[in-house]
Structure 1
């Protein structure tokens, strides 16, 4: 005990000091971001703001990205749709800046993250309001999906990012004992990201944080459905880069349509894409021309499995959140509900009760539970999926209500809908809906639940609920997907040390976590002499008679 006591005291003192240091914030400067042109929402008169009517078919304007609020159809402005040459110019500027940034210290990179974190925490209401106006989601949904996830990513990078980018030493094997083996992680250069509109703030910051922290430049093409907020969020990044003395052109946000995205893919050193399987395949074809690595996150049709030993009222609450978060426009949202027949009736009754209490309306009003559908015409597609299910024997047993929508944006809303008697012959159970619809099926055994969950072209995530964690883990382990939550929904994404991505038509590659961070790197294997110059590798000459016996002895040694 006399030996261990001083060691324990030293360890305890070290832990206390570390804890106290954590309580002392580093010197983090504040940044100023111009918001003068985005905070006029309440001051606009009826004459100053007008309703935007999107063009359709051949009349679509392709030289400008028009922006409007989905919940009100009020016009927000426009941004240029960049040409191929303009995109290449952005990439060239980022490439020049990256060569400087690649030499930056981790201390400088961490300060960049701290400045961003400070601004996000202090201005989270503004960030959420921008997301809400541009996509139609409620402020609560924006806070969960934009602020919390991004702050978690930053704090994880601050705590562990440098550790996972430092050289990692590996075993050299018995025949190479005199060698040191390691893996080095170098910046790739300029990373391109084409991101979706459903979480405009996080979808920009997610690839940007990993790329910049690992020493890369990045050019991000924001969705044409969320360009207004995306270009504002870019100002935050620019201000933070300037505050740490980073190269001005290290990060770019560009706007446009298909031509802009195609030009980006053909110009960068890696592409990250968040979107649909159809566009993902097009990106792969373009990326094949230059043989650059690709990370694809292509959505999902996630299964939500409810076993017969659950607390039904508790799980029903989670189920409704899983289906209705951000009006169901969530790539990791629950889209297929499989419920054990013994609790099926009580589960449906609980879910219907909750859904009927949900009121839908413009998010800026602050009194509605669910907001708008972002994309023009998507509500019509959702209704077509419901109609197909009804034609094949399904039944609507519950719907939410509408608040005061306003006559100009009625088509931008869809009521939360609970459907029973669903089966896999229905498009609703096969195609990604991306809307607030809950189709529910019965199952009789764990094996049947697994079979139903795997009967899908998608494989992003799943959620399994059971009173026995062992049982839930066993079911989840047999589902073909990249993300699994046990007795919870989408909690994985809040654990930013974990990779995120799927299989099958949900894509491949990972972002977030160690795997996502290192995916932004050139992974280089390095071998050197351990005791140079005293011990070196010596290769016997082929003409020596001893060479054959040397090789035989070496082989026996390696196989021993």
Structure 2
């Protein structure tokens, strides 16, 4: 104890110092963001008093409306290719300035954003709710908490993972140092989906800007109104730290706008459907830029018989109904062990029947609207296909007081049993509040069923034995796995996020996502410069000696041979060859 107690005291003192340091407040300025035209209906366009029926055709305007009420919000321009390219040019100029900034300045930018987000949670959630139809609670979980965690991780560890990383230099280069440097790529492009308009903008923006890039983000035509407001927050924070204008751009438009963006930037990040993802890949091939694709999923939710049914049923309901089921990592296929199948179904039916959907900002509702026009019809077609093939609806939630013009924007939460993999509902991504539940008998069967999908984003496995749950999860072909929980991975921002198969490839989040915004450069230099320099050994100097190959052969065995005695013998041969005069193959040539 006499030897260890000083170390204990020192460790305790360091811990206390760290705690006190954390209590010291940062000097973070507040920013002012004009939101007078956002939540005050009186300042909206005159069309605001009318129910808006969105046009099916693309025009020179992106028309915006509230899915929950079909209330008109206004419009934004659909940018033409030359306008997009000009935005990228301006972003490129800004990036050259920003790339020279310190991590201290970049952290201050993050702190300003974090302060604003925490102090204006209600405003941000209300904007998200109006533009997507989700509830305030769903917005808080998916927009606020995830973004705050992302910022916190970057503040804590971002600089660490972007500093040069020294690597081993091997046996043959022992006189060298080897490292990896991470440089900004330039202008990052992002095309993001509508389901989480705040987080889907901030997620790629934070990684790109912190790593020294600029970014141009095309927001979905289904969430342009909120996206353009959220840009104001970013611009105000950038201005507060003296960042150049145009470092972050948000653009609006349709397919033509997105295509122009892909062809203009140095990297693309896409969040959306597999079909559009493939088109982006083809377009990116023209300029050979790296692409990160997050293309949704059909996540399996496996429930073993040794769990607490009431506990897991609540998690299952949240996994299926969060944001009306409009989640890339939503639970879409439920596999429940036959021994608890009946009790599990009864419990989730009880929960779902208590859920009421309705306009989130008009009344107290558990679930909001479906964002995309006519998506309810597609959801019903998936249900009808399942019913035609023998499935059965055993429970549905209710729909509240909805205006006549917005009825088609709602789909009640629905539980379906007697499903199988011949049904489209078990194969196609639904992106809606539907819980299809299928029973299994053995762990091997559960693994087979879960892997029988074109998607491979995430999974959740529940068992009273963590070892058993881990064993099942390890056999599932997907990029994200949660043990006895659902989608908690995304709240661990140190982890990469992404999938395989039709769920895409590449990762955002964590070290992998941050470094994916960088040019990864390998650098080797002399360890003891200028005392020891690289010198070509005599036997392989030009013109090559007759003993050149024998020298190389002995050198390879001396460095990498598995037998120590053979390596020593080879080393002697190397030294002997080096001491011999350099007789080239051409030295015996006569004129």
Task: State TM-score, norm by structure 1.
Answer: 0.98
In the TM superposition, residue 14 of structure 1 has moved relative to its aligned partner by 2.0
CA distance in 2, matches of 1:485, 1:402: 32
Question: 1:3: how far off?
Answer: 4.8
Q: Which residue of 2 aligns with 1:433?
A: 430
Instruction: Give the distance between the partners of 2:98 and 2:494, measured in 1 at CA.
Output: 24
Aligned position for 1:69: 66
Q: 2:80 aligns with which of 74, 83, 98?
A: 83
Paired position in structure 2 for 1:122 = 119
Q: Please state how far the C-alpha of 1:18 moved relative to its aligned partner.
A: 1.3
Report which of the two structures shows the higher radius of gyration computed on alpha carbons: 2
Residues 403-414 of structure 1: matches in 2 within 5 Å? 403-414=400-411
Unaligned runs of 5+ in 1: none
1:271-420 correspondence to structure 2 within 5 Å? 271-420=268-417
Q: Is the 8 A contact 2:419 2:436 kept in 1?
A: yes
TM-aligned CA deviation for residue 4 of structure 1: 4.0
1:131 Cα deviation after fit = 0.2
CA distance in 1, matches of 2:101, 2:356: 50
For 2:578, the equivalent position in structure 1 comes to: none
How far did residue 55 of structure 1 move?
Answer: 1.9
Quote the residue 2:18 is aligned against.
18
Give the equivalent residue in structure 2 for 1:553: 554
Q: Aligned equivalents of 1:27 and 1:513: distance in 2?
A: 27
How far off its partner does 1:284 sit?
0.3
Q: Cα offset for 1:549?
A: 4.2
Look up the match of 1:195.
Answer: 192
Which residue of 98, 101, 106 maps to 1:104? 101
Matching of residues 121-520 of structure 1 within 5 Å: 121-520=118-517
Q: Does 1:52 align with 2:47?
A: no
Contact 2:268 2:289 in 1 (8 A): yes
| SS of residue in 1 equivalent to 2:361 | helix
The CA deviation at 1:22 is: 0.8
- Alignment partner of 1:462: what SS? strand
3-state SS, counterpart of residue 52 of structure 2: coil
Q: Distance in 1 between matches of 2:545 and 2:238?
A: 62
* Deviation of 1:331 (Å): 0.5
Secondary structure at the residue paired with 1:464? strand
User: How far apart, in 2, do the equivalents of 1:312 and 1:81 lie?
Assistant: 50
CA 74–539 in structure 1, closer or farther in 2 if over 3 Å, else same = same
CA distance in 2, matches of 1:55, 1:9: 70
- CA positional deviation for 1:44: 7.6
Cα displacement (A) at 1:407: 1.0
* Structure 2 residues not aligned, in runs of 5+: 562-591
Q: CA deviation at 1:552?
A: 2.6
1: distance between equivalents of 2:46 and 2:535?
A: 85
Distance 1:290 1:434 in 2: 33
Q: Secondary structure at the match of 1:180?
A: strand
Q: CA deviation at 1:6?
A: 3.3
The CA deviation at 1:249 is 1.1
Which SS does the other structure have where 2:49 is aligned?
A: coil
- Distance in 2, matches of 1:531 and 1:417, equals 69
Aligned partner of residue 349 in structure 1, secondary structure: helix
Distance change >3 Å, CA 52–CA 380, structure 1 → 2:
same
Deviation at 1:559, TM superposition (A): 1.8
TM-score when scaled to structure 2? 0.93
User: Within 2, Cα distance between the matches of 1:4 and 1:421?
Assistant: 64
Going from structure 1 to structure 2, the CA distance change for 1:4 and 1:547 (only over 3 Å counts) comes to: farther
State the shift of 1:42 in Å: 7.8
Per-residue deviation, 1:47: 8.4
Q: Could you report, residue by residue, the CA deviation over 1:474-506 in whole angstroms, capped at 9, with x for unpaired residues? A: 000000100000000100000000000000000
Q: Could you give the per-residue CA deviations for residues 512-542 of structure 1, whole angstroms, max 9, x where no partner exists?
A: 0000000000000000000001112221224
Point out which structure has higher relative CO (alpha carbons under 8 A, 6+ apart).
Answer: 1
> In 1, Cα distance between the equivalents of 2:191 and 2:555?
52
Distance in 2 (CA, whole Å) between partners of 1:48 and 1:273 is 32
CA distance in 2, matches of 1:326, 1:77: 24
SS at match of 1:175: coil
Tell me the secondary structure at the aligned position of residue 422 of structure 1. coil
Q: Work out the CA distance in 2 between the residues paired with 1:268 and 1:21.
A: 41
